[in-house]
Amino acid sequence: MKSRNVILTLVFILLLSGIFLCRKWQEPSRKEALNRRPDLLTYSSLAVCLMKCQQIEEEEIEQILKKGVILLNKSNRFSRPCPTFAVQGSMATGKSLRLSVQQCGKETTVLACTIVNETNPCQCPDERNNVN
C-alpha cells in the first residue's frame, strides 16, 4: 500500500512539473521598456540646439533610437509620469552618440543628444535647469 502512494505522489509531482515547464516555455517574451518605433517623435529646444551645433541629423537620431543600446544605469525607467532613457550607438561617421529620451504614451521626446568623448562647445540653454 505504501509503495503505491509513493508512486502516485511521484507521478503527481512529475505531472505538475511538466505543466509548469510547458507554461513557462509558452510565456511571451518580456517586451522592451523603450518603444523604439514611436508614433510621434518630438525634439526639445535643447535637443534642436545641440543637433544644429553638433551637426547631427534627424535620421541619425532615429537610427540610434532604433538600434542603439539602452544604458540602464543612466536611465530612469521608473520616473513618473514619463520614464527617461539613455540610448547610445554609433553614427555613420563612426562617432558615438548618446541620446536622452523621454517616453510618454505613444510620444517620445528627445531631450538631449551628445557626441560621446568630445568636448561640447555648444552654448545651448539647458531648459531642464529653467524649470520653475
pLDDT, tens only, 12-36 = 899 988 888 877 776 555 556 788 8
Nearest to 91 by CA among 46, 51, 59: 59
Confidence band (pLDDT; 50, 70, 90) for 125?
confident
Half-sphere exposure at residue 51, Cβ-oriented, CA atoms within 13 angstroms: 19
The full set of domains in the chain, from first to last, is 40-115 (3.30.2310)
Residue position matching grid coordinates 510620444? 107
Bridge pairing between strands 84-90 and 96-104: antiparallel
The per-residue pLDDT for range 59-116, each reduced to its tens digit, is: 999 999 999 999 988 988 888 888 999 999 998 888 899 999 999 888 899 999 988 8
The per-residue pLDDT for range 32-71, each reduced to its tens digit, is: 678 888 889 999 999 999 999 888 899 999 999 999 999 9
Neighbouring residues of 121: CB distance < 8 A, sequence distance ≥ 6: 53
